[in-house]
Structure 1
Amino acid sequence: MRNIRNFNQCLLVICIIFMGGISTTFAQNLSKFLEIKGTVIDQNTKDRLVFTDLIIKGTNISTVSNIDGEFLLKVPAKHVEGVVVINHLGYEKKEVDISSLKGKIKIALVPAVTALDEVNLVSRPGDAKKLVLETLSKKSSLYNNSNTLMTAFYRETIKKRRKNASLSEAVVKIHKQPYANYRKDNIELVKARKNTDYSRLDTLALKLQGGPFSNLYTDLVKYPEFIFTEDDIDDYEFSFGESTNINKKMVYVVNFKQTAFIKEPLYYGKLYIDAETLALTNAVYSLNVENKHLASQMFVRKKPRKVAVHPTKATYRVNYRTQNGKWHYAYSNILLSFKVNWKGKLFNSVYTLNSEMAVTDWEIQDSKFAKLKNQMLRPSTILTDQASGFSDPEFWGEYNIIEPEKSIENAIAKIKRQLKKS
């Protein structure tokens, strides 16, 4: 089933759990930094804007707004007189002095109007498929071609219906290889924490195998073989959607889906391509899970015999940022939903697994990466097996993290109460 199967089987393991509790605490010496919290909204509709980039101008320090449109940005003392640049696809870029960001902050972005005049329509490529192929061929010239050490925050959650059952978080270092070569990236674990409420998982634990690697592999420019290869690109249909823009630059929108005669599960979604450079700026796509049997084979590696499992949703997002004229991987999100049926039981269980990873800082490495075998994760890693314990927010120190969504905040509050009791 091609490389697609290899990609998705990095994502999920279903197995019988062991019962047990963990209560390890951590301490962290904090240096001076300014912590800014706020919300990004649409100026006209007041809707909250998710996955918005916030970057300290002139640096590689950044964060991203969560699904509630909220953000948390930790600014080192030496940059408190600087500027925050806010970017969101389809909106005008905004720059705000850090010194003005006090109290309850709401940053309103203005929708960017894309004028589809005759010039734009004529200049748009006539063949969407050729545009995608040309975009993928430009990774050597448009994307970062230096060894890059990225600091990233990673979070994965598992919910049984609407209740959080498992929460794992980590700060990692991504040893990002140049886009021009075919060497795979490596990930180094810096620190991690977790909490699992086994009472909400029945006798099953759903675990994401791959951890941060699963999100890293959504980088379509670095790893196009997981979706589009020369052998299977003809299995897709490509068409143009309505163009949008970012930072007042036009962005082509290319829709893609599997052709009607292909029966095995493939992907469908949208690719956002910068009209001037033809760089891929964003991608949002999903796996076709209509064939329950084949879709289940692509994800489930291990399960009890009396359990039937099939995915009901599998969606992916990857965002790129540009710095000094070069693009690089910046953020990705994976959302998977599964229905679990026990033989002989009247009701089924629905689990949702979500993982996201945001690059919060990075630097060019002049020399080759050192091999730190003890700290390096493997693509087969299950993060919940690598982490232990949970603690207060100061655990992360000055590391920039993704602000928790409301439901996760409630889960964290409950964890804190449990720790105080123990």
Structure 2
Amino acid sequence: MKHLHLQSKMPQFLIFLAVVLLSTSYFTPGFAFQEQAFTEYKGAVYDANDKTPLTFADITLEDTNMSTISNTEGEFLLKVPNALLNKSITVSFLGYAKKDIALSHLANTPEVYLTESASKLTEVKINAPKNALALVKATLNKKGENYIDAQNIMTAFYRETIKKRRKNASLAEAVVEIYKQPYSSAKQDKVRLIKARKSVDYSRLDTLTLKLQGGPFSTLYVDMIKYNEFIFSFEDLKKYEFAFASPTQINNQQVYVVNFKQKPEITEPLYYGKLYIDTDNYALVSAVFNLNVNDQVEASKLFIKKKPLNAKVLPTEAAYRVDYKTHNGKWHYRYSNVQLAFKINWKAKLFNSKYTLNSEMAITDWEENNRKFTTKKETFRPSMILSEKASGFSDPNFWGEYNIIEPEKSIKSAIKKISKQLAKS
């Protein structure tokens, strides 16, 4: 068996593409990707000013927990039960005014344009940071002060999905415990796998299967306060340009908005995006960013570790999001999402293959607790592959009455539904 190994810039965040012989699928038809009585709505979210796509915009169906998010091209897909077709969706994005759109209107006008929502800050707050770079440095320097300073054990719901073009090919879900270390500590977070399941349709993958090494770590490492060296270390800050955008509000809290991108003279693929920083204590509230993959050949070197000689693998998208939450005056990691897309060009083949990998994790509960693993066998290590540790969809009561969480829907929309079931697990 030949292997195509892909590695991201973040250490130990690996994607494995394995060339396999076509085999009998153990995908469970009618379970994870079951046809239901629903209507699909496709759309795209853009900035109203410069028409750029908005990645990770939230799309929520009125009066329900059903939601999804946009991809790196701003596109989204929402499946709506036919009994709810008279409702509207709410489209929102950090720093932008929300927009409500009737499904009947969306069907004819799928493009959604959002306008930046600027907040006026007091003169004292406006003058607080000397410049955007100084604010970012202050944010990184204050992680020991603003973020949890003791081990917290967090329960989380993690999911990774793989699509070939727009068709679902693989799904893995897990309940995990995260032993979240103090932000001021150099200790790495640990993960314990509580329960996991998977479903794969090899017929949709042709002769290529994708496996994400590290599972929950792929999203945990997006915590750029705990692991800022993976995004930009203090040494890397000089390679970036930082600039203030219009301040805004998140959950009624005023935040600075900082745009960042690599300097023009820097040729290596780095990140670009937005940081949302609390105006009171300089804590990072959220970050949405991408890896610059304009130079696909150079960017591919950050991912490819080993590949078949007859394949050329080029990354086309690499988008990341992380959100934080405050509790008892201390901030902590709450949610993250990673979207990666690759184009596989095969020699002697006319058409290429396109694959999209999405992984996301949301914290459902947490408590300050210094408990340790009883054995090393309990630890899920960054070198492990979740889909190899997970069983099939054999337990019909895995999520209780909410057994189906469709991959098109953000897991954040599922948390309220499955929190009780997670607690039982």
Which position in structure 2 is the counterpart of 1:377?
380
Contact 1:14 1:302 in 2 (8 A): no
Match among 362, 367, 379 for residue 366 of structure 2: 362
What SS does the corresponding residue of 2:241 show, helix, strand or coil? Answer: strand
- The Cα of 1:197 is off from its aligned counterpart by 0.5
Give yes or no for the alignment of 1:252 onto 2:260: no
SS at match of 1:7: coil
- 1:394 aligned residue (397, 407, 410): 397
- Residue 338 of structure 2 is aligned to residue 330 of structure 1: no
Matching residue's letter, 2:192: E
For 2:16, which of 13, 23, 35 is the aligned residue?
13
- Measured on the aligned residues, the alpha-carbon RMSD in Å equals 3.2
Give SS of 2:349's match: coil
Contact 1:91/1:245, CA 8 A, preserved across alignment: no
Distance in 2 of aligned mates of 1:64 and 1:263: 41
Question: After superposition, where does 1:161-200 map in structure 2 within 5 Å?
Answer: 161-200=165-204
1:287 corresponds to which residue?
A: 291
Given the superposition, is the C-alpha separation of residues 159 and 264 from structure 1 closer, same or farther in structure 2, using an over 3 Å criterion? Answer: same
1:65–1:403: 8 Å Cα contact kept in structure 2?
A: no
Counterpart in the other structure of 1:319 = 323
Residues matched between the structures, number:
338
Q: Tell me the alpha carbon deviations over residues 240-293 of structure 1, each in whole angstroms, 9 at most, x when there is no partner.
A: 111111232210000100111111110001000000010000000000111222
Shift of 1:296: 1.1
Aligned ranges 1:4-403 → 2 under 5 Å: 6-7=9-10, 10-17=13-20, 19-22=23-26, 50=58, 66-67=68-69, 89=94, 114-116=118-120, 119=123, 122-123=126-127, 125-365=129-369, 367-391=370-394, 394-397=397-400, 403=405
Q: Distance in 2 between matches of 1:121 and 1:182?
A: 32
- Provide TM-score, normalisation by structure 1: 0.73
C-alpha distance in structure 2 between counterparts of 1:294 and 1:215, whole Å: 23
In the alignment, the residues of structure 2 paired with residue 363 and residue 401 of structure 1 have an alpha-carbon distance, to the nearest angstrom, of 26
SS at match of 2:392: coil
- Structure 1 SS opposite 2:376: coil
Cα separation, 1, equivalents of 2:119 and 2:27: 57
Is the CA contact (8 Å cut-off) linking 1:308 and 1:340 kept in structure 2? yes
* CA distance 1:20–1:372, shift in 2 (3 Å): farther
Cα distance in structure 2, aligned partners of 1:251 and 1:202: 47
**Amino acid aligned to 2:19:** I
Q: TM-score when scaled to structure 2?
A: 0.72
The residue type equivalent to 2:342 in the other structure is F
AA paired with 1:287? L
The residue type paired with residue 162 of structure 2 is: I
Match of 1:81 in 2: none
What is the alpha-carbon distance in structure 2 between the residues aligned to residue 407 and residue 259 of structure 1?
Answer: 36
More relative contact order in 1 or in 2 (CA 8 Å, sep 6+)? 1
Match of 2:87 in 1: none
Following TM superposition, by how much is the alpha carbon of 1:391 offset from its aligned partner in structure 2, in angstroms? 4.2
Structure 2 gap ranges (5+) = 1-6, 29-55, 70-76, 80-91, 98-114, 412-425
Distance of aligned partners of 1:51 and 1:218 in 2 relative to their CA distance in 1, 3 Å threshold = farther
Distance 1:6 1:371, change over 3 A: farther
Query: Quick one: structure 1 residues 354 and 393, their matched pair in 2 at CA, closer, same or farther if it must change by over 3 Å?
Result: farther
Residue 67 of structure 2 contacts residue 409 of structure 2 at CA under 8 Å; is this kept in 1?
no
Distance between the aligned counterparts of 1:315 and 1:49, measured in 2?
A: 12
Distance apart, 1:20 and its partner CA: 4.8
Q: Residue 117 and residue 252 in structure 1: after superposition, are their counterparts in 2 closer, same or farther (change >3 A)? A: closer
Contact 1:10–1:214 under 8 Å retained in 2: yes
* Deviations 1:363-395, CA, capped at 9 Å, x for gaps: 110x35224322211111111111121146621
Residue by residue over 1:56-94, the C-alpha shift from the partner in whole angstroms, topping out at 9 and shown as x without a partner, is xxxxxxx99543789xxxxxxxxxxxxxxxx995599xx
Q: Kindly provide the amino acid, as one letter, of the partner of residue 289 in structure 2.
A: Y
| Greater alpha carbon shift after TM alignment, 368-377 vs 312-321 | 368-377
SS of the aligned residue for 2:17 comes to strand
The answer as to whether partners of 2:159 and 2:173 remain within 8 angstroms in 1 is yes
Q: What is the CA distance between 1:114 and its match in structure 2?
A: 4.7
